[in-house]
Each structure stands twice: as structure tokens, then as C-alpha cells.
A and B are shown apart, each in its own frame.
Chain A
Amino acid sequence: MKADPKGVLTGEHYLDGDHACAEGAIAAGCRFLAGYPITPSTEVAERVSERFPQVGGVFIQMEDEMGSMAAVVGAAWGGVKALTVTSGPGFSLMMENIGLAAMLETPCVVINVQRGGPSTGLPTLPGQADMMQARWGSHGDYELIAVSPNSPQECFEVTIKAVNLSEKYRVPVLVMTDECVGHMTEKVVIPKADEIELYPRRYTKLPPDQYLPFKPGKDLVPEIVKAGDGYKIHVTGLTHDEKGYPVMNWEVQEKLVRRLVEKIRLHADELVDIEEMQMEDAEVVIFSYGISSRVAIPALQKARGEGIKVGLLRSIICWPFPEKKIKELSSKVKAFVVVEMNYGQMYYEVERCVCGKAKTFLVPHGGGWVHNPEDIYNAIKEAVK
């Protein structure tokens, strides 16, 4: 289905990443946002609070992030596309109900404009150290999807993509941006509504007496209903069977958890979204995402200027990890240089997939400012030795 033109600000704009995320969410049909103010993500909620009353949406500023995320899950079951937005400390508080969303297979979106941590860290300065929390932050086993934009234009685009993927796979999808991209202002082109493809919610067509709320389809994703449609469903965060009823034994646990994991893992290949730059003849591969992938470009250019065959592989979808791509490359290239604003998170995924077939280097950064391209360049030099 196509986007509703009422929510789409078609045209050329000069927007920061946070505002572009807000426009992406509105274009994608989100009409509910529950959030709690936190730097550097507040601009998303601010823009939504201004725009929603003009496009038929409801914004509510909640008392905290636990409440925000719980309200988002509740709203999704009420029949609206719902999202929230936060940063580090709030992201930690949302983990409880991100787990609930994963367990109840609730389509919803969480935007995390990452800042330096741990704890209160650097509220106004960037970080990329929530990547593993994005993957494993809530307790228990589950899989979800995380996207990472590196420009305001892409903030707009991947937020739409996040909403679509959340509907398709019935999982919370995380938009893992950062303070730099969030506060960077650039040209954002918003296309016409009929050029924006939306994934409709997967409502069942079965009558209530034949419908099982957690019976998966071929792609392991069950069909959904919304409250008030007469299905009288029960959904619970307890381990449950296809009927949605709690069952406390290992067999049902095994079946459920396995499906929650596999509905993403088995679709990893179709979910992969990577951008390649000068990869044709690359012997050294820079692996990066978000703002760090942009900072890596001057280093790449300088090394290329010296005849070093280096390319850039950028993950736009970070989770699931582009495992197959890295495995394929690892027997063809000499080395990987991972650039991220942390002390090794995605790096260890790269190392795992490379499995000793090439050298791996991490260019770490504690956050608070972007990498110095010179450090990345030096790592490239080290890698080609």
C-alpha cells in the first residue's frame, strides 16, 4: 500500500536527522508516539508533537521510559502504528518492554539517538556504544532488527523502512542513530506519497473460532488482530502456546523461543542492507555504520591516493548482522578495519565471521566526538603491512 499523502511533506527540506526521523515516521503512517524527553533525541518528539495534531495523530509525553514503551506496545495492539524515541539512559529503561514487544510480537519502532555512556555519560555528544544493548538488552533470547542511518536523508528513509519491517516481521525495530547524525542538518528530499511503499499490518482474515493468535505462517510470523474486533484474544509475556495461553514447560518454551529467534535469523539474507564503496578491488575493508562510516571516507580517500586498495562496507541494517557477506569477503581480502564509536561491539561480530581468514583491526573511540580520520588511515596502513 502507498503512504497517505496527508502525512507526507513532499519536497526539498533542510532538516536535522531527528526531524527527518519524525517525518519518516509520519510518512510511514505512525500516528502514536509516547515518549519521555532525553537529549539528544527530544527534537523527534518535539516535531511529532507539533505535526501530529495536524495529521490526526496522538502524542503523549509519559512519566518515564518504562511507561513510554509500555504505552507503545498497548497502542500497537489498539490498532495504530506506534513509536517512541530516546537515548542511552532511556534506552536502558525501555528494555523491559522491548522484551515484552518481542514476546508479544508487537510491531513498533524505537529510535535511539545514541550519546556517550555509560550512565549519564555525555548527554549532548555522540556515541555508538548501545549496539550490543540493542541486540541483547532485554533479558531472554529473542531477535529483533536494528537499522543505522548516516545522514538526515537516510534518517527519513530508514525510519520508514523500520516501520515496514516491524509490520512484516512483527518485531520491535530499532533505529540506532547517534547525536551527530541526529543534530546534523542537511538537505532531505521527501518523495511523493505514492512513491512511498508501506507494508500493511498482517491482520488475519480468519473468523474468531478458527484464529490462533500465535500460530505462525510459512515465514514463522503469525497473523495479528487488534483489540475490540471480537476475537477475545489473550496475550501474555509468559511463555505461551499458539492460542496465546501460558504454558510452563520446556517444550512450549523451546518452540516459542526458537521461532522468535528464527523468524529473523532465517530471513537474515533478505534483510541485509549494506552499502559498498570502492569495494571492487579492495584488499582492506573498512566496516562501519552510522556517523563513523562517514568519518572513514577521508581516510579511505587518503589511502586510495597512495594506491592502497581499500573499500568501505557500511551496514544500514546492523541486526541481523551481515554475516554471509563478511564470511564471503574474508577469504578474498587481507584485512578488515572496523570503525565504531565504542571499544568493540560490532567488531567482535566481524572477527567471529572472519574466523581468522583475514586480519581484523578495531579503531575504537570512547564517544563524545567522532574519530580522527587520521587514526583510521593509520589502521589501514597497519592492515596492509
Chain B
Amino acid sequence: MKATATVQPAEVTEHPMEALLRMDRIPHIWCPTCGIGTALTAFAEALKKIDTSLEKVCVVSGIGCTGRVAGYVKLDSFHSTHGRAIPFATGLKLANPELKVVVFSGDGDIAGIGGNHFIHAARRNMDIVVLCVNNFIYAMTGGQVAATTPLTANTSTSPYGNFENPFSLPQLAESCGAVYVARWTALHVRRLARSMTEAMNKKGFSFIEIICPCSTIYSRRNKLGDGLDLMKFYHDNSVIKHGADTREMAIEFQKKIVVGKFIDRERPTFLDAHNDWMKQRLKDKFVAYGGPQC
């Protein structure tokens, strides 16, 4: 007997992410096959499972391709200056500790121009989540060499190949004091979403690196094929190693990418440490900051 089962598509009345995206701003500016869209999809999924009500979730972005995320999420969202998303988020969080503040930005923003803010926010254990899309270059400006470009890779300002050693962001985050550190590629959508939920439900400075080399400029200049080839590359070359030593996961040109959750620990946050310390020193003279004041 011939099987003739036909599946009728369910009537779709709205986009499944409509509640979380500013649909009036779609289409977005990202290139076809760019991993930022995938990262945003994972973020939208992650938001469905967090402990905080969406009214209290804020997204802060800096400048660059990933910096545009703030413009597409239907949350209180702030598109700040280049590199300053983390200090902006610091002010926002301290002004209203009830908020869940998520910094969503790129590697140039967070590790390049904003590197100083990144290490200090991790050191203080500022209670924010940092989601960093690492596309290996300054993509929006045309693919210049970055603090994350793998050695030897060709970029528009390293036309003979990159000779500078890149940052390994999980190692940097861990050594500065982050309480949660993970790395995934744009292929690991479910694991990435789960990680994002975990990070958002955790107190303290949480950091997730999302590897997705720019599928337009980086890929073309380095002859790595199109978006599908990149996905295949992640599939064949990503190695999941939870709890791996972050000193041993530097990204090399077209080599294995160690992914997973590496750090999940507890430390007092800036505000908790501040309040505990002041209470100890000032006793009943201490007046704790009580949330928005005006």
C-alpha cells in the first residue's frame, strides 16, 4: 500500500519571534548567511526561559554589525557608542538593580575598543550578561584586521596576512573574573540558546563568545566558501569540551574550535560586595541604594 500522508502546514498568523522582535524594523541589515541573525534567534529562544520578566530585560549594544541587535529586539534597548556598551550597561544596572542587563555586541566593540571596560566589568563582577559575536574582523567598515583575527588570516588591512596574536576571549574573561564563560559557534543554536538562558539566570558577569566569522568579507578574502561551507566547517571542526582549560582554546586559522561551557562559579557581585562592605563598616549609618530615585 502506498503511503500518501500529506502534512498540511498549520495556519501561521504571526512570526514565531514576533513578540520579541521589532517587526516594523524588519528586514534587518545583516547579510544572508551571517551568523548574527542566528545568534539573535538563539537569544529570542533563550528569553522564553529566563526567570526575569521581559519588561525588566534591557539590551545594550555598541557599534558594528552586532551592535545593531539592540535595534531589533522588542525590549528596552540602547544602541550606545563604540566600545562603551559595557560601561553604559554598568550605569543602567546600578541605577536599577532589578533590571537584567544584556550587552549584545561584537568582538571589535567588546574586545577591541572596549577591551578595557570588558576586563574591568569582569573584575568587578558587574551583574550583566555579555554576548559577544566574534566575526574575526571589523565587518561593518569593510573587513579590517581585529584583535580577534586569527594569525595569517587575510583582511582588508592585513592584505599580506595577519601577524598579530589574537585574544582568546574565554581565557581573558576567566582570568579577569567572569563567573560564567561559554563559547559556541553559529551552528550550535540549541546549545547556544541554553547557554544564554543559563547566563541570564545567573548573577554576576557572564560571558558567551559566539563564533561566526563574517560570511561575506572574511570568508571571501580567505577563500573559505559561502555560509553553508562555514556551517560545514563548524560541524567538522568544533570540539565540545565542557570545563576545558581556557588557556588551551586559542583560535587558529582554520583549526579546531573548542566550544562548551568552561566556567560556572560564584563570586559576590559589585553591588552585593558594595552593600555588604558598607553595612559592615558604616553599620546603621549605611543607607543602601534603593532603586530608581527619580
Contacts and interface: CB of A to CB of B under 8 A. Distances in A.
A76 interface: yes
Interface string A78-99: 1111100000000000001101
A79 B56 CA distance: 13
Interface in A79-122: 79-82, 96-97, 99-100
Given A60-B94, A79-B292, A80-B294, A70 B81 contact: yes
A232 B75 contact: yes
Given A67-B116, A230-B55, A56 B98 contact: no
Interface string B48-82: 00000001101010000000001100111111110
Contact of B71 (A57, A67, A234): A234
A149 to B, nearest CB: 24
B250 interface: no
B91 A82 contact: yes
Contacts of A329: none
12 contacts: A34-B87, A63-B116, A67-B90, A68-B87, A74-B60, A75-B95, A78-B94, A79-B95, A100-B80, A227-B92, A231-B76, A234-B79
B293 A80 contact: yes
Q: How large is the interface on A (under 10, 10 to 19, 20 to 34, 35 or more residues)?
A: 35 or more
B99 A32 contact: no
A99 B70 CA distance: 19
Interface in A215-255: 226-238, 245-246
Interface in B74-114: 74-81, 83-84, 86-96, 98-99
Contacts of B83: 66
B27 interface: no
A74 B88 contact: yes
Sorted nearest first, the 10 A-B pairs with minimum C-beta distance are A78-B95, A79-B292, A74-B91, A75-B91, A71-B91, A236-B79, A67-B87, A70-B84, A74-B88, A70-B87
Contacts of B77: 232-235
Contact of A71 (B56, B70, B76, B90): B90
Given A100-B81, A245-B71, A60 B288 contact: no
A81 B60 CA distance: 20
A70 B294 contact: no
Given A53-B287, A73-B88, A97-B84, A62 B58 contact: no
Given A234-B22, A234-B70, A236-B70, A67 B120 contact: yes
B293 A79 contact: yes
A32 B95 contact: yes
A30 to B, nearest CB: 9
A74 B78 contact: yes
Contacts of A235: 77-79
Nearest to B82: A96
A276 interface: no
Contact of B294 (A68, A79, A238): A79
Contacts of B24: 245
Q: How large is the interface on B (under 10, 10 to 19, 20 to 34, 35 or more residues)?
A: 35 or more
B282 to A, nearest CB: 6
A5 B288 CA distance: 17
A31 B87 contact: no
B282 A54 contact: yes
Given A80-B95, A245-B71, 13 more contacts: A63-B116, A70-B117, A74-B60, A74-B88, A77-B92, A78-B96, A80-B293, A81-B294, A226-B292, A228-B292, A232-B75, A236-B78, A245-B25
B40 interface: no
A72 B79 contact: no
B286 interface: yes
Contact of B117 (A60, A63, A201): A63
A58 B94 contact: yes
B285 interface: yes
A236 B71 CA distance: 8
B96 A66 contact: no
Contact of A67 (B79, B117, B278): B117
Contacts of B84: 66-67, 70, 96-97, 100
B55 A32 contact: no
Nearest to A236: B79
A366 B178 CA distance: 47
Nearest to B294: A201
Contacts of B94: 32, 58, 60, 71, 75, 78
B120 A63 contact: yes
Contacts of B93: 74, 78
B81 A237 contact: yes
A78 B87 CA distance: 13
Question: Which has the most chain A C-beta neighbours within 10 Å: B58, B81, B290?
Answer: B81
A53 B91 contact: no
B108 to A, nearest CB: 15
